[in-house]
Amino acid sequence: MLRNIDANDVISDNGKLHRITAIEFGKLLGIKHKQNQYRELKIATKFLLSAVIKIPIDTFTYEEYSIFDTARYAVGDGYTSLAFSRNFLPFIQNLKGDYTRLKLAETLQFKKFASVRIYEKLMQYRQADNTGWWRVDIDELKDLLCIQKDHTYWQNLYFNSKLIYPAIDEISDKLGWDIQVNPIKFGRTIKQFEITFKDVNSNILSSQDNLLVGNKSNQLNQANRAADARAKVSRLAHLKKMVLNRD
C-alpha cells in the first residue's frame, strides 16, 4: 500500500491529503475484485489513522503523537486520502523551513521514531547514484533523536543497542538499503558515527538525467554539510558564552 503512493509526494504542513487508490492497493496485495479492494483499503486507512508514535522525553516520561489527523473517503471514486498531524510534522521535517523531500511511501513504513529521523538525514546526503554518507557526532545524534542527558538512552551502551542499530536495521529491512555504520572512537569512547548507504532497489537513471540530478544533489549535500557545520559552531559558541557567564 505505502509503496504505491506517488514517489514524489512531499510531506508538508498545509493539510495536504495524500491519495491512495484502491487499484494500486489491490495490485499490491493481489486483490482482484474491485469491491474487495476498496473495502480492504478502508480498513487499512482506519489503521493508519489510529497509528501513533512514541517520543521519549526523559527516563520516566514520554509523549505519543498521532501520525495522521484526517482521512477522506471518496466513495465511488476508488481512493482514500490521509493528511499528516501537524503536531507530528516537526519531528520529520527540517525545522528551518527547508523541508526535506521524503518519499511518503517509505517514511510510513517505519515504526520507530529514530528510523524516521535517521532516514530524513540520509535522504539529505543521498547522491545521484543512490549512495551517500553521513558523519555525525554521537551527542548531536542524541539531540536529533530528542534524547535528554538524564535519560538512560543518553549512555552510549543503551543508545547504540536500543536506538541506533535497531533503527538502522529497520531502514535496511523496510527499504532494502545496504547500510554500514562505522563507529569512530577517541580513545575507548565512541564519539562519532560514519554511516554509508546505498539504495540497491532504485532504477538506473539515464546519463543526462543522472548528471542533472547529480549536480543538484552535490549542491544540496554541500549546503547541508555547511548548515550542519554552522549549527555546530553556533552550539559551541553558546556553550562558551554560558561558561564565561558562570565565571
Which pLDDT band, with edges at 50, 70 and 90, does 134 fall under? very high
Write down the pLDDT at residue 245. Answer: 53
The CA distance from 38 to 25, in Å, is 8
Matching CATH number, 111-247, of 3.40.50.1980, 1.10.30.50, 1.10.10.10, 1.20.950.20: 1.10.10.10
Torsion of CA 100, 42, 72, 62, to 10 degrees: -50
pLDDT at 24 over 70: yes
d(CA 20, CA 105): 10
pLDDT reported for residue 182:
94
Q: What is the rounded distance in angstroms from the CA atom of residue 238 to the CA atom of residue 232?
A: 10
CA 148 to chain centre: 20
- Helices 165-175 and 113-124 sit at what angle, rounded to 10 degrees? 70
The dihedral through the CA atoms of 221, 224, 228, 230 has a sign that is positive
Using DSSP's 3-state secondary structure scheme, residue 245 falls into helix
What pLDDT score was predicted for residue 11?
A: 52
Q: In the predicted model, is pLDDT for residue 147 greater than 70?
A: yes
Judge contact between 84 and 68, C-beta under 8 A. Answer: yes
For the stretch 28-33, contacts whose Cβ atoms lie closer than 8 Å and that sit 24 or more positions apart, written own/partner, are 28/1, 28/3, 28/4, 29/1
Mean of pLDDT over the chain: 73
Closest alpha carbon to 196 in 246, 111, 134: 134
d(CA 3, CA 50): 19
User: What are the pLDDT digits (tens) for 189-224?
Assistant: 999 999 999 988 765 333 333 434 444 444 445 555
* Contact between residue 57 and residue 68 where contact means Cβ atoms under 8 Å apart: no
Phi/psi at 136 (5° precision)? -145, 140
The answer, as to whether pTM is greater than 0.75, is: no
Q: How buried is 60 (Cβ within 10 angstroms: 0-12 exposed, 13-18 middle, 19+ buried)?
A: exposed
Q: How do the residues of the chain divide into helix, strand and coil, expressed in percent and rounded to 5?
A: 45, 25, 30
Please give the angle made by the CA atoms of 143, 144 and 149, to the nearest 5 degrees: 20
Buried b / exposed e over 178-188, threshold 16 CB at 10 Å, is: ebeeeeeeeee
pLDDT for residue 169 is more than 70: yes
- Range(s) of the chain covered by CATH 1.10.10.10: 1-109, 111-247
Q: Is 210 helix (H, G, I), strand (E, B) or coil?
A: helix
* Architecture of domain 1-109 in this structure: Orthogonal Bundle (1.10)
- pLDDT range class, residue 158, cuts 50, 70, 90: very high
Amino acid present at 217: S
Neighbours of 5 (CB within 10 A): 20
User: 39-72 pLDDT, tens per residue?
Assistant: 888 887 887 787 777 676 666 777 788 878 888 8
Task: Kindly tell me if the per-residue pLDDT of 148 is higher than 70.
Answer: yes
| 85-120 tens-digit pLDDT | 877 766 655 433 333 344 555 676 787 888 988 998
Distances 192 to 51, 90, 150, 156 between C-alpha atoms, Å: 33, 25, 20, 11
